[in-house]
Every structure is written in C-alpha cells, then in structure tokens.
C-alpha cells in the first residue's frame, strides 16, 4: 500500500537549557525517527542538519527530505518587543524559555510549509516531535520505528489530536501563565486543507496574544483556545505522554 501520509518534524538548537537532554541526546533520539520509512519532511537548524549529514549519513533518503532553517526566520521574532509580560508559571524556567515557546508554537507553521511543498504528494500530514522517542517505554528502537511507520496509513479529515485533560472541564488555571494539558503537544495530523486552516488560526491567535496580552505561552494552551472556538475542526482521542500518543492516533 502506498503511503498516504507525510510526517513533519523540526528541531532548533540552543532555544533552552536542559541538563537532562543535551544536543547529543536530541541527536540520538532524532536519529531513530530518521530510520523510519514513512515519508517525512524534517526542518533542522544548521547545527543539527550538519550533524546528521556529516556524522550519521545513513538515513533513508528516498523517504526523507531534510530542510535547513534559521530560527530567526520564525515569525515570532518579529513580535519579540511586544512580550513585556512574558513570565510563565513553570518549575523549569531554563527549559520553558521564550525561544522554546516560539519553537513549540511554530509546529503548525512547519506543517503548513510542508503541505505547500507537498514533496511526497499526500493528502494527509502528521506532526511528530523530533525527540518523541524518549516518552516511549519500549524494549528496543525497532518497536518505535514500526509504530511510526504504521502512521502512514492512518488518515483523517479533521485535526486528529490527543487530549489528556477532559476538554469539557474548565480547570482553575491561568491559561496565559500555567501549562494546560488539554492536549498533548507531540502529535497531531489530518487532511492538508484543515491543517492549513489550523495553522492560520494558530498564527492569528498567537499574534493576538503577543500584541494584546504582551506574552506567549505553550502551544497546547493556544490550541485549546482555538478548540473552544472551532470544535468542529477537531477529532480528538484520549492519550497521555506515553505510547498511547501514537497507539491511539
């Protein structure tokens, strides 16, 4: 059966500081994703792009398109002077930096870029975090690779996305400062037309928050704000930050 889905991912270096996950660790995690045979478009900054092509140049080039990017080309940097109230309630400020949030919120933009390019000529696309291997409790990498490869036959019309919290409950949080796990952030997909609509809604909402609230927050928070205004666009499934994120997709 011909693959019906293009996987999209991205990685930017030096957007935060994580003692538990240095660049080499991300490289090792991403290298496993690159071994999959699903058609994929991966956006990488120069550091990771050169690392993969020079150090480990054995990924499947027939099913992989690597695109070199510069983080400063992300549209969020145009609004950085507005973010005078950026101060998230997080236990790890070294991780949840402004640039890290920019990266997370740009996922829909990379998906849109991949759709417009449509290098593998598919109607469905799926975003998968570059380092997602770390949340899977598996005995070996082959199990992970098989799970990712199976995604190439899972097609949806609306935005297929995993929810952790109950979407019908208004939890007592500050949506602009506290993490909201209504959605898991690592995987979402669907038909290209609805994904483009999702990306446009995301861009509009992010610009609104940056210019009117003078802050920005995790992508999952903003996705929830979009969800409550566009419920018919979404096709959610129950999951957590483990194998169910992929298994239940």
Structural contact between residues 83 and 198, judged by C-beta atoms closer than 8 angstroms: no
pTM over 0.85: yes
Average pLDDT for 70-79? 96
pLDDT number for residue 205: 98
pLDDT number for residue 21: 57
Structural contact between residues 146 and 112, judged by C-beta atoms closer than 8 angstroms: no
pLDDT band at 16 (very low <50, low <70, confident <90, very high): confident
Please state, in angstroms and rounded to a whole number, the distance separating the CA atoms of residues 33 and 133: 8
Query: For residue 69, which of 36, 98, 102 has the smallest C-alpha distance?
Result: 102
pLDDT score of 34 more than 90: yes
Query: For residue 245, which of 204, 186, 201, 194 has the smallest C-alpha distance?
Result: 186
pLDDT band at 18 (very low <50, low <70, confident <90, very high): low
Query: For residue 6, which of 111, 141, 147 has the smallest C-alpha distance?
Result: 111
Max Cα distance, the chain (Å): 52
Q: Domains in the chain, please, with CATH?
A: 5-247 (3.90.550)
Measured N-to-C along each axis, helices 192-208 and 107-117 cross at an angle, to the nearest 10 degrees, of 140
In total, the chain counts a number of residues equal to 249
Please state, in angstroms and rounded to a whole number, the distance separating the CA atoms of residues 232 and 132: 28
pLDDT band at 137 (very low <50, low <70, confident <90, very high): confident
pLDDT tens digit sequence for 202-249 = 999 999 999 999 999 999 999 999 999 999 999 999 999 999 999 999
Q: For the sheet containing 183-191, what is the strand order?
A: 64-69, 40-45, 5-11, 124-128, 183-191, 159-163, 234-238
Q: What percentage of the chain has pLDDT greater than the value 90?
A: 84
pLDDT number for residue 225: 98
- Name residue, tokens 């027939």: 62
Q: What percentage of the chain has pLDDT greater than the value 70?
A: 97
Please state, in angstroms and rounded to a whole number, the distance separating the CA atoms of residues 21 and 105: 20
pLDDT band at 56 (very low <50, low <70, confident <90, very high): low
pLDDT tens digit sequence for 77-113 = 999 999 999 999 999 898 999 999 999 999 999 999 9
Structural contact between residues 41 and 65, judged by C-beta atoms closer than 8 angstroms: yes
pLDDT number for residue 1: 61
| DSSP letters spanning 182-194 | TEEEEEEEEEHHH
Assigned token pair, 140: 């070996």
Please state, in angstroms and rounded to a whole number, the distance separating the CA atoms of residues 216 and 13: 20
Assigned token pair, 63: 């099913």
Average pLDDT for 147-162? 97
Structural contact between residues 177 and 89, judged by C-beta atoms closer than 8 angstroms: yes
Query: For residue 9, which of 107, 149, 136 has the smallest C-alpha distance?
Result: 107
pLDDT number for residue 53: 87
Structural contact between residues 102 and 216, judged by C-beta atoms closer than 8 angstroms: yes
């Amino acid at each position: 059966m011909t693959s019906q889905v293009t996987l999209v991912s991205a990685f930017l270096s030096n957007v935060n500081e994580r003692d538990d996950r240095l660049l080499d660790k991300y490289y090792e995690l991403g290298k496993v994703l690159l071994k999959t045979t699903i058609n994929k478009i991966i956006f990488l900054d120069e550091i990771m792009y050169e690392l993969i092509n020079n150090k480990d140049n054995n990924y499947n080039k027939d099913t992989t398109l690597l695109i070199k990017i510069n983080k400063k080309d992300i549209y969020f940097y145009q609004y950085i002077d507005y973010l005078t109230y950026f101060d998230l309630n997080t236990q790890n400020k070294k991780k949840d930096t402004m640039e890290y949030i920019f990266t997370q919120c740009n996922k829909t933009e990379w998906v849109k870029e991949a759709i417009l390019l449509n290098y593998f000529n598919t109607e469905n696309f799926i975003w998968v975090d570059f380092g997602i291997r770390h949340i899977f409790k598996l005995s070996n990498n082959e199990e992970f690779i098989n799970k990712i490869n199976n995604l190439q036959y899972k097609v949806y019309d609306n935005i297929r996305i995993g929810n952790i919290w109950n979407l019908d409950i208004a939890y007592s949080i500050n949506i602009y400062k506290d993490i909201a796990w209504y959605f898991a952030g690592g995987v979402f997909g669907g038909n290209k037309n609805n994904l483009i609509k999702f990306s446009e809604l995301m861009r509009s909402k992010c610009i609104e928050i940056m210019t009117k609230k003078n802050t920005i927050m995790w992508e999952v928070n903003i996705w929830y704000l979009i969800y409550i205004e566009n419920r018919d666009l979404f096709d959610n499934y129950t999951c957590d930050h483990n194998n169910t994120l992929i298994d239940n997709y």
